[in-house]
Amino acid sequence: MTDRLRLLVVEQDPVLRAGFLRAIEASAVEADVVGASSVAEAIEKLHDGPYDCVLVDQELPDRGAFKLTVEIRGDGNPLPIVFLTGVHDEDALQQAIDSGVTDFYPKSDLSPRRFAFRIKFAIRVAQAEADTARSLAQATAAARARDEVLAIVSHDLRGPLHAISLASEALRDEAGPGAARYLAAIDRAGARAERLISDLLDASAVENGAISLERAAINLNALVRQAAADHELLAKEGGGSVHATVPDEPITVFADRERLLQVLANLIGNALKHARGTPIEVSVERHGSDAMIAVADRGLGIAPTELPHIFDRYWTGRTRKGGAGLGLAIAKGIVAAHGGRISVNSKPGEGARFEIVLPLAR
């Protein structure tokens, strides 16, 4: 905004228009003021812009004030618009706001100081909105560019990873016994890279609200048993165990089976890292119109300072290290996409309990 403003006053009554001009001249605002008495004249004057603010008589005939506002906003112009009003109809004022009006000023108040203040206020509001819109557009463009790069890189990386996997499998039949552990290391590294690619794509989809779900009626009792069985061997290798506790009656939700297994795999996998060989308990129970799945371990627990950040992207924390810090953020996004919520309770040295609440199938 320059020191000297350029204002357009659109008022059909020449006496009131002159009064507004005098109020501006008597105020502390340094401005060049252009007058217009109709919408057509105002549109013509706008072509001679730019202007810092437009002051419009709300009572122009044939809803002229609204038509002028729509004309200005139709081009995406953030120019501040102040309605000069003698109307006290709340519906009309709300309609004016919806059409893009920045502020209102009563025709009955020609105090130069208050008039100048409201003009400057409207200009600042419009500038703030324009800055916000510009920042949002830049952030959206940056996110879109990042997602496009991520998709391209992920696609290009999967080709070499697949080739490495095939080569490793072919070498397994030809290499001697001493090479087996090296080939196993190659396979594990390839699997970790594949998981990281999938996590990055899932995290991007969660952030954009574009996570895909293929819903069906799911028996959570069977799902929890499967998740526990899938991790039983890995738990035994670490000297621990995974137990599933389910009720006698089936608990059904309308959900994406593979996505829920992905969430449970993340929670159980995290628990295995910190359970210190102690049992991990996976349970499901009914809570009114909801189902609750819990994964509890008796490991190190989570520090109170880390709990507020546990579901943040790229957060690994002090006590829960390993991975890119995307798993819990993805789990939260998947649960939220199902209309549910996920939370954690923990005390240092007493383990952690993650709870997933999902609406029951109707």
Provide the pLDDT for residue 316: 64
How far, in Å, CA of 175 to CA of 168, rounded?
A: 10
Amino acid identity, position 261: L
Provide the pLDDT for residue 234: 84
Provide the pLDDT for residue 1: 43
Reading the block at residue 6, the tokens are 């350029």
Burial (0-12, 13-18, 19+ Cβ within 10 Å), 96: buried
Burial (0-12, 13-18, 19+ Cβ within 10 Å), 1: exposed
Reading the block at residue 284, the tokens are 């499901």
Sign of CA dihedral 209, 211, 212, 214: negative
Provide the pLDDT for residue 317: 60
Q: How many CA atoms lie within 13 A of 70 on its CB side?
A: 6
User: Which residues, in sequence order, are bridge partners of residue 360?
Assistant: 253
DSSP state letters, 327-353: HHHHHHHHHHHTT-EEEEEE-TTS-EE
Residues 280/235, Cβ–Cβ less than 8 Å: yes
Burial (0-12, 13-18, 19+ Cβ within 10 Å), 91: exposed
Give me the residue label for tokens 């217009």. Answer: 36
Amino acid identity, position 34: V
Residues of the chain below pLDDT 70: 1-3, 87-89, 143, 146, 150, 155, 316-324
Give the three-state DSSP class for 246: coil
Provide the pLDDT for residue 297: 92
User: Which residues, in sequence order, are bridge partners of residue 291?
Assistant: 286, 358
Which domains are assigned to the chain?
A: 5-134 (3.40.50.2300), 140-207 (1.10.287), 216-359 (3.30.565.10)
Provide the pLDDT for residue 264: 94
Q: How many residues comprise the chain?
A: 362
C-alpha separations of 163 from 63, 156, 172, 195 in Å: 69, 12, 14, 16
How far, in Å, CA of 234 to CA of 124, rounded?
A: 61
How far, in Å, CA of 89 to CA of 83, rounded?
A: 13
Whose CA is closest to 72, among 53, 85, 91, 57?
53
Scored b (16 or more CB within 10 A) or e, 153-191 reads ebeeeeeeeeeeeeebeeeeeeeeeeeeeeeeebeeebe
Kindly report, residue by residue over 203-261, the tens digit of the pLDDT. 777 777 778 888 999 999 999 999 999 898 888 888 889 999 999 999 999 999 999 99
Query: Which phi and psi angles does 106 have, rounded to 5°?
Result: -70, 135
Provide the pLDDT for residue 236: 86
Provide the pLDDT for residue 340: 95
Kindly report, residue by residue over 296-329, the tens digit of the pLDDT. 998 888 888 888 889 887 776 644 445 557 889 8
Residues 61/36, Cβ–Cβ less than 8 Å: no
